[in-house]
Structure formats: structure tokens, C-alpha cells
Amino acid sequence: MREEVFRMSGVTQENSGIQTLHNINLNIFKGEILGLAALDDLGLDDLVSLMCRNQPIKYGKVYFKEKLVNSGTKQGVTTNKVYVIEKESKLVPGLSVADNVFVLRSGFKKYLIQPAVLCAQVEKHLRELGVSVSPRALCEELTGYERCVIELLKAVLQGVGLVVLREISDILGRADLEKFQKIVSDYAKEGISFLYICSHHEEAFPFCHRMLLLEDGYLVKVFEKDEMTDENIEPYIIKIKRKREAQPEKEEDSGSILAFRKVKGTRIRNLSFEVKKGECITLLDNDNYILQEILDLLMGAQQAEAGKILLGNQVYTCRSGADALDHGVSIVRENPLKTMLFYEMSYMENLLFLVDRKLNKTMILKKIQRSVINEFFPVLGEVMYTRNIDTLSLEDLYNLIYYRVILYKPKVLFCVQPFSGADMYLRKHIAKLMDECRAQGISIVILAVRLSDTLRVSDRLYVIEHGQVQKEYKQDEYQTEFRWQNK
């Protein structure tokens, strides 16, 4: 009989008066990699939280290693030996790899610490995993892949019974993800259990022993290994179909809006690509190696060592982010709800944030505000009068971000991992907003380390490895090449 590591039995949970989990029944066996594909975000945070902490629940029971640890009547909050690896690192910056792995783990009882001994032990474990990292390296110097491996090693050495891997394909490039999955599979054979949370079932099917499908806080299906086929999952997935708006007519002199011509930098090696007016392209950095450097070149934080960047027919030179805006280059950064909105300001103040720069005015006249309201009210609605944007839905907040871009109307918009962390419905909405930008003649360059839904909006794809383009795909070429990422 298989040993059960974790079980939820009839668990129902509420959060702020909203029922987020509905009669959840799931179990995870020792040495199992259980996949969980979430069609939306509802209940996902509570599910992970209840795996880690035995906090009050409305109904149901939770078992860890076949012992009842939580129920609707159980008092107090305890924790389970569960470790979560996600976008936010749990390693302590400023400390070495060895210190994070050994000294900061529970159960470490040595009072006299011998750094050489600790480093030798860490080095041995990392060598067995095929990872070349100095135990003395500071954790802030680690790559995304190295950080995930160190956190996994730390969890294993702590003796956790279950490791939750949450959307790690948002952290790792394609090549690193395959290497990390191999390490996870090896640990599973040694008896470590995993919950692998992802947005796409095609990511989980080849890798997991079973897979759950979560929608609106309900577990709607458990797929056994022999059931993991596209045909079986088809009835459970709402197909996302978008009507692409007609592309604006190209002028006779329609050339590149922006082009990199044999650009070299610190990591960039002979990088060349171009985007035309109203076009959307994706730069897929399989190594997660040069995306930040591309942004630094565009924002003036770094200068190219060789080659040139062209904006239209002119050589692009930039001293700052504000200078880039003046040239017509805008950026929607990853997780823009945290990095691009001002929550102490009203909706209109946020929407008009860049208009003063566009019009070269220090104050926005009321007639300009009225004009903007008249133009966008049919699309945005009553939320335009909102004083506290904290109360708005995710869709309304993303509308605010992208319509600010449309109002400013740059020549080219760079979107950094635009679908990262978004559920299936929100990804559909973001894709629609990108199409609206393109309908206004704004060119879009998507910077990504995973494809997610980027191919749904892209006309062309550039695959980048080791700092340079390895291959370019046109829209009719990448469907079979990147099958699971394009669902």
C-alpha cells in the first residue's frame, strides 16, 4: 500500500467572506509528482497556504503523513514540513549559499560552526546535482536556476515531506526548466513528494504522475497518467478565441519601427531583430540571460559596445527612461500592478500620468480631462471616476495600464513577461489589450523566458540563446515547434 504524505478531505475555505475552496479532496503519495493546472487564481493561494500552515478552515480535514493536523474544530495554528519554491526567493541575501542551506535550517544544533566543513558538504551535494556553484557565493549573485536548485537542496536537507513548485516556468528558461525537472524527478525516486503548480496542462502531462484541474476553487478533474491526453482534457478547458482586429494599413515606406543591428554588450552577442509598425514580435530568451540588458540599452543605463539600434531611420541614443519616452519607447514591466500604478492617486491621475509629458504641460487642463473621458468612457466605463483604485478588479487595473500606453501612443511598447502569474481568463484579457495597442499602430516587443500565451499575439518569434538569435519563426511556422507553450 502506498504511503500517503498529504491529504485534504472535504476542505472548504472562506477568505474575506468569499468562498475560495469548495469541498476539496486530494492526496499526494510519497515519491509522487502531482501536477495542478489552475484555470484561474481563485483558491490557489489558500490551497498552498493550507498545505503549509494549519490555520482555521470552514469545513473539512487535513492530514499530513497520515496524521490529522487540521479540521474545522481544531484550535491554534501549527505548521507542516512543506517548502514552497516560487518567484519570491526564500534565501537570505547577504549570506552565502552554505549559510542558507545549513546554518539557517531548523534542527541545526552546532554552536561552533566550521565554515570549511559546511562548504565541503554543500559542494558535495551540488556536485551530485550537476550544479557548479561556490558554497561561498552570496545568494543575490545566483541565477534563477541556481537559486531554485539551492532552495530545493535546502528543503531536502531539512527533511520536508512535500515540496510545492509554483509556476517555476516563469522563473526558468526552457533549457533550465528541463534540467530542474530532471533533478525533481531524481528526488521523487528517492521518496520526496512534489506538487507542481502550472498554468498549462501540457507542461504537467509529460512530467507528472497525476494531474489535478482547478477552476473557481473546485477540483473539477483528476487525470491519471494514462488519461493525460489532449482529447481527455479538451472538455474541461474553455477555449480562448480572440478576434484579431484588422492591422492598420502600412504606408508605402513601411520599414522597421525599431531594429537592433549586430548589437553587442556585456552579455548580448551580435543581436539582430526588427519590429514593424503595428507588428508584435516575441524575443524568447531560453537562458534568461539578456532581457534586462536589452531594457538597459533602451533606457540609457548601458551603451552598446558595438552595432547600432535604429528607431525609424535614425540611430537611437538614450540617456534615461524619460528620454526613451520622448523618443517613443515605452515599457510595461513584469508584474505591472506593483511597479506601474500609483495607489495613492485616482484612476484619472494614473491614466493621465504621461499626458503632461506628451503635451509638454505641467498641469492637465480640465478640458483635456473631459476630452479623455469622452473618448475612453465607452470602453472603460464608470471606473474612470474611481478615487481609490485598490477597489478595482484585475481586469480594470490592466485596462488602466494599457490605456495609459494607448493614450500616450508610443512608437513601440516593450512588454516584459506580460502573462507571468496571470490565470487563463486574465491572459485572454491582456492579449486583447495588446491587440488594441496594435490597432492604434503601436508596435509590441514581448520579452519572455517562456512562451505562455505570447504566440497567440505574435506575428514572429525570435529564439535567443547565449545572447544572440538562433532562429526566427514566422506565424505559420511555430505552431508545431512550440506545441505545449502555445496552448
List, for residues 150-192, the tens digit of each pLDDT value.
Answer: 999 999 998 998 999 999 988 888 888 999 999 999 999 999 9
Q: How many other β-carbons are positioned within 10 Å of the β-carbon of residue 432?
A: 18
List, for residues 244-297, the tens digit of each pLDDT value.
Answer: 333 344 333 447 899 999 999 988 988 999 999 889 999 999 888 899 999 999
Give CA angle at 419 (418, 424), nearest 5°.
150
Position 467 scores a pLDDT of: 86
**How far apart, in whole angstroms, are the C-alpha atoms of residue 312 and residue 255?**
8
247 vs 29, higher pLDDT: 29
Q: How many other β-carbons are positioned within 10 Å of the β-carbon of residue 390?
A: 10
Query: What nine digits make up the cell of 446?
Result: 514581448
Position 63 scores a pLDDT of: 95
Question: Are 297 and 304 within 8 A, CB to CB?
Answer: yes
List, for residues 411-455, the tens digit of each pLDDT value.
Answer: 999 999 999 888 888 988 999 999 999 999 999 999 998 876 677
Give the pLDDT mean for 345-374.
74
Question: Are 96 and 116 within 8 A, CB to CB?
Answer: no
Least confident of 140-149, 238-247, 392-401: 238-247
Question: Are 36 and 210 within 8 A, CB to CB?
Answer: no
| In the predicted structure, residue 15 carries a pLDDT above the cut 90 | no
Least confident of 51-65, 87-101, 131-145, 251-265: 251-265
What mean pLDDT is reported for the chain?
85
Contacts of 418 (CB under 8 A, 6+ apart): 332, 334, 430, 434, 446, 454
Position 357 scores a pLDDT of: 60
Position 235 scores a pLDDT of: 79
Give the pLDDT mean for 377-397.
93
Position 332 scores a pLDDT of: 95
Question: Are 273 and 280 within 8 A, CB to CB?
Answer: no
Position 22 scores a pLDDT of: 94
Q: Is this prediction's pTM over 0.85?
A: no
* Three-state SS letters, the chain: CCCEEEEEEEEEEEECCEEEEEEEEEEEECCCEEEEEECCCCCHHHHHHHHHEECCCCEEEEEECCEEEEECCCCCCEECCEEEECCCCCCCCCCEHHHHHHHCCCCCCCCCCCHHHHHHHHHHHHHHHCCCCCCCCEHHHCCHHHHHHHHHHHHHHHCCCEEEEECHHHCCCHHHHHHHHHHHHHHHHCCCEEEEEECCHHHHCCCCCEEEEEECCEEEEEECHHHCCHHHHHHHCCCCCCCCCCCCCCCCCCCEEEEEEEEECCCCCCEEEEEECCCEEEEEECCCCCHHHHHHHHHCCCCCCEEEEEECCEECCCCCHHHHHHHCEEEECCCHHHHCCCCCCCHHHHHCCCHHHHHCCCCCCHHHHHHHHHHHHHHHHHHHHCCCHHHCCHHHHHHHHHHHHHHHCCCEEEEECCCCCCCHHHHHHHHHHHHHHHHCCCEEEEEECCCCCHHHCCCEEEEEECCEEEEEEECCCHHHHCCHHHC
**How far apart, in whole angstroms, are the C-alpha atoms of residue 315 and residue 324?**
13
Position 365 scores a pLDDT of: 58
Question: Are 437 and 407 within 8 A, CB to CB?
Answer: no
**What is the band of 116 on the pLDDT scale with cuts at 50, 70, 90?**
confident
Question: Are 450 and 169 within 8 A, CB to CB?
Answer: yes
Question: Are 158 and 150 within 8 A, CB to CB?
Answer: no
**How far apart, in whole angstroms, are the C-alpha atoms of residue 93 and residue 104?**
12
Give the pLDDT mean for 476-486.
59
Give the pLDDT mean for 7-21.
88
215 vs 106, higher pLDDT: 215
Determine phi and psi for 9, rounding to 5 degrees. Answer: -125, 110
* CA distance between the termini of the chain: 37
**How far apart, in whole angstroms, are the C-alpha atoms of residue 172 and residue 85?**
12
The highest-confidence range among 94-108, 173-187, 464-478, by mean pLDDT, is 173-187
Domains and CATH numbers, the chain: 4-91+142-236 (3.40.50.300), 256-483 (3.40.50.300)
Residue of 209, 279, 207, 283 whose CA lies nearest to 247: 279
Place of cell 475560495: 20
Question: Are 104 and 92 within 8 A, CB to CB?
Answer: yes
Least confident of 126-130, 183-187, 237-241: 237-241
> Sign of the C-alpha dihedral, residues 39, 41, 42, 46?
positive
